[in-house]
Amino acid sequence: MSYFALAIGTASRNKEGKIIEAWYPEPLLNPSDDLMTGIDEVIKLKGGNEVFVLEKSQMNPLAGHLAAAGHKLSAEFCRAAESSHQTLLMVALESDSAPSSVAEGFLKLHLISHRRVKPHGCSLDGLFGLLHNIAWTNEGPIDLPELAERQIEARLSGRTLSVDCVDKFPKMADYVVPSGVRLADTARVRLGAHIGEGTTVMHEGFVNFNAGTDAVSMVEGRISAGVMVGDGSDVGGGSSIMGTLSGGGKVVVSLGKNCLLGANSGVGIPLGDNCTVEAGLYITAGTKVTLLDDNKQAVKTVKARDLAGQAGLLFWRNAETGRVECLTNKAAVELNRELHSNN
């Protein structure tokens, strides 16, 4: 009884009873056959990708099977949830196909933020069309058509309903805070971001869903959807790494290990390890780049896409001619590990 993923959690519904978001404290990747057999005794799995609204009477038996499989957090959650008034949910995914419900979509976002899978490690095809536009408030998620009524209700009862943002994606820290990270402004990291241990995201840094860092990184710029940044790399203040959501691009842009994007720079091509882009220089696939030899003499001019994925490159703009130049990078960046232990 092989399954791709399993999660038990809570869900919010709108007035029509539709699930608009879900929270899973311990999503499981590739749960054991023994666990799924035990769950089948309680839930009666039909096969395929399924979403179940649970009865309270099912929570204690589920807790027993989860505890027996070594999933202590999920077992504790099930026992505590037996007395909850929240909508209780279980999602069982037999295969990693495109999500077909909000509950499935939120599970896959959780898998990435819990570091169970890396960006591009599971299918998120069609996710935007599934998710609701939500008012994320101090009283929880509210379906946008219901916001005005809830605001009136709050005011008349002497409360203030604070709307943090209106979006399809919540901030990651309201659902998942992975170990060993610093997030200076949690609103700038979306659920579905993969934040590697040792990463610091500063106040103006931003990490989108299905994107993130492998391990130790300093993020002061923008990591767009689909982008992965390698260990030891620094995304400088105001810099940007081009994603694929806008513009129809198909190439996955990434940074290798020990790369540096200078302040207000950016790239639209993948870079290999030990690459540096000087401050203020934005390189897109069509940027004309003059290659230099060790004596800094021009060899030939190519388009930046021809250098995609290569390691040890240093990009700068010639202050006299204005042309973009590239030579071998002999002084790769090395981050201060003490600043990124984040314990």
3-state class (DSSP) for residue 12: strand
Distance between CA atoms of residues 190 and 322, nearest Å: 37
Distance between CA atoms of residues 166 and 133, nearest Å: 7
Q: What is the pTM of this model?
A: 0.93
For the chain, list the domains and their CATH numbers: 5-123 (3.30.70.2010), 136-167 (no CATH), 172-340 (2.160.10.10)
337 pLDDT exceeds 80?
no
Confidence of residue 243 (pLDDT cuts 50, 70, 90): confident
> Which pLDDT tens digit goes with each residue over 73-109?
999 999 999 999 999 999 999 999 999 999 999 999 9
Distance between CA atoms of residues 229 and 254, nearest Å: 6
CA angle 144/203/196 to nearest 5° reads 90
pLDDT recorded at residue 294? 85
> Which pLDDT tens digit goes with each residue over 204-214?
999 999 999 99
Confidence of residue 227 (pLDDT cuts 50, 70, 90): very high
Closest CA to 315 of 292, 334, 295, 333: 292
Residue corresponding to tokens 């009524």: 149
Q: Are strands 266-267 and 254-255 parallel, antiparallel or unpaired?
A: unpaired
Distance between CA atoms of residues 125 and 249, nearest Å: 15
Mean of the pLDDT values across residues 59-72?
97
338 pLDDT exceeds 60?
no
- DSSP summary character for residue 72: H
336 pLDDT exceeds 60?
no
The contacts of residue 46 (CB under 8 Å, 6+ apart) are none
Which run of H or of E encompasses 135? strand 134-137
Catalytic site positions: 220
249 pLDDT exceeds 70?
no
CA angle 216/219/224 to nearest 5° reads 110
| Burial state string for 26-55 with b = 16 or more CB within 10 A and e = fewer than 16 | bbbbebbeebbebbeebbebeeebbbbebe
Query: Average pLDDT, whole number, for the chain?
Result: 93
Q: Range with the lowest mean pLDDT among 106-110, 180-184, 245-249, 287-291?
A: 245-249
pLDDT recorded at residue 162? 97
Distance between CA atoms of residues 48 and 286, nearest Å: 44
> Which pLDDT tens digit goes with each residue over 267-288?
999 999 999 999 999 999 999 9
Confidence of residue 340 (pLDDT cuts 50, 70, 90): low
Residue corresponding to tokens 């008012």: 135
Q: Which two tokens stand for residue 111?
A: 């898998």
Residue corresponding to tokens 């807790």: 63
Confidence of residue 43 (pLDDT cuts 50, 70, 90): very high
Q: Are strands 87-93 and 50-53 parallel, antiparallel or unpaired?
A: antiparallel
The contacts of residue 338 (CB under 8 Å, 6+ apart) are none
342 pLDDT exceeds 90?
no
Amino acid at 237: G
326 pLDDT exceeds 60?
yes
Distance between CA atoms of residues 324 and 152, nearest Å: 57
- DSSP summary character for residue 180: T
pLDDT recorded at residue 333? 47
What proportion of the chain, given as a percentage, has pLDDT over 70? 94
| pLDDT higher at 177 or 337 | 177
pLDDT recorded at residue 247? 47
